[in-house]
Chain A
């Protein structure tokens, strides 16, 4: 009898130890998990954080203090120098101008093309769409030199036009994206409107657009981000400093004054902060846009 009780007791203790062991194991795993999360978070957040700190420090402070330390006496002087002495205000204005134009045109014209492909019947529709898709295979670098020559020939180099023109008439990627979305809108919606006597234009603008907010926001974001971050093309088509966009301005500043960390990091922030703000506001759309590409079809 004692053996039975001892065994049960032993088994009970054994089970308890096992339970404790597995709970300990789970605890270790959980701690490990959160540790990984913290490390990942640090890797992604630190560069921004350090840049923000540095942009508000003077150069001696940057050189003397650890990059991880917040500014002890924060100053706006770097930004004021950039905007008064180095024309960054102009660069910012230029970037805004061309990016807004690029975005407005690209989204509008891509949307029109997407609607035509998605819900209108016309001869050659499928072959034409295939053509659009095939151009997605062409890397940007290939068209750079010939486009430059074409623009030079048309006396368009060194103008605002040159910066946004190749991207403003609608691009196949956006057309593809929006067409996929439009195809999920039930045909009946458009049929009903057509029977009511609506022109295709009216259908597109008055009916489709209001219910396509998600894809339109995604398309607008993608276009804006592309335009804002674009570097190589503006670099080669503009010469005058007065036409520089932020990316070109930062790169030039880096070549000439790269060691003025206080100024160059402040300059980088002028380009980065608007994107961070954009992300903060529209982060859900960006994350959800992946499902809209329907790549798992």
Chain B
């Protein structure tokens, strides 16, 4: 009798304490989870969220950090285009992005396709091509200064052998930006090639076989099999590339400092000069906000374009 009754009275008690233990356990987990999250969350709030809000506020004042702020409303947004040449800087930056991204993406993809093979050389070159990606841009900028130096640099000395007088690459308006774009392509094409290699590897060979059976040429196979299925990779490479290109600074600072004149004065350099040489915090903040909105708009546009066309499923 006692055996039969004992469990019935003991059972509810056990369930309740187990439940209570569960809640306590869960609360402990939540506490621990937030403890784990605390540092990065603090970082995000302090160093990302608050500055974003703050820069919008700063864009509405005139301030040089030494005298009191002066409220000017939206006039900074007008003045940066009228007097600080920000419109010009945005165009220069756009020019750089147009020079840089298509060529870089093409080279990255081209190298990926070329080096996919199992040939002995491919593996070594794959590795070599990636090395530039971690080269300090400031240090490389100085190296390129030398390579493109009109008298002592390799490029013009090589051209001289061919009987051509090379231009003053970095002092010439027409060539300065292309050289900077070259430096950037050199630095990141190899790294982006890795993404394309991964993307290419995910395309089943059966698709190519099927296409070949249908009589498709190599070029048609590329257009109709490779490119469409590479779209996720392409999206990633293009989005990160464009966002990065819009913020180019180190290379320009060291190679041309925005010159000749202001032919290579990209947006980030204008922001830097306005804020930290001219100490015009309000104008620089307005520039930062405008640049942010432009980058955001372009990124959203890219996502929209690709999302319509990406096929994740391979039948």
Contacts and interface: CB of A to CB of B under 8 A. Distances in A.
| Chains A, B in direct contact (C-beta < 8 Å) | yes
A251 B299 contact: no
A146 interface: yes
B283 to A, nearest CB: 10
Contacts of A236: 272, 275-276
Interface string B118-149: 01011011111111111111111111111100
A267 interface: yes
B139 A146 contact: no
B139 A142 contact: no
B198 A296 contact: yes
A14 B297 CA distance: 62
Interface residues of A, number: 97
Nearest to A66: B157
Nearest to A140: B247
Contacts of A265: 142-143, 146
Contact of B281 (A47, A145, A199): A145
Nearest to B235: A295
Contacts of B32: 116, 120, 199-201
Interface stretch (B2-10, B78-86, B214-222, B284-292): B284-292
Given A132-B44, A229-B134, A147 B186 contact: no
A254 B284 CA distance: 26
SS class of chain A's interface: helix, strand, loop or mixed? helix
Contacts of A269: 139
B29 interface: yes
B157 A287 contact: no
A123 B40 contact: no
A37 B129 CA distance: 10
A207 to B, nearest CB: 15
A142 B195 contact: no
Interface stretch (A1-9, A15-23, A74-82, A274-282): A274-282
A62 B154 CA distance: 11
A275 B136 contact: yes
Given A50-B147, A283-B127, A143 B52 contact: yes
B181 interface: no
Contact of A170 (B39, B131, B144, B198): B39
A146 B292 CA distance: 14
Interface string A60-87: 0011001110000000000000000000
Interface string B226-248: 00000011001000000100110
Contacts of B232: 295-297
A47 B268 CA distance: 27
Question: Which 5 A-B pairs give the minimum distances between C-beta atoms?
Answer: A169-B43, A170-B40, A109-B39, A268-B139, A146-B51
5 contacts: A47-B186, A141-B249, A146-B52, A171-B43, A247-B136
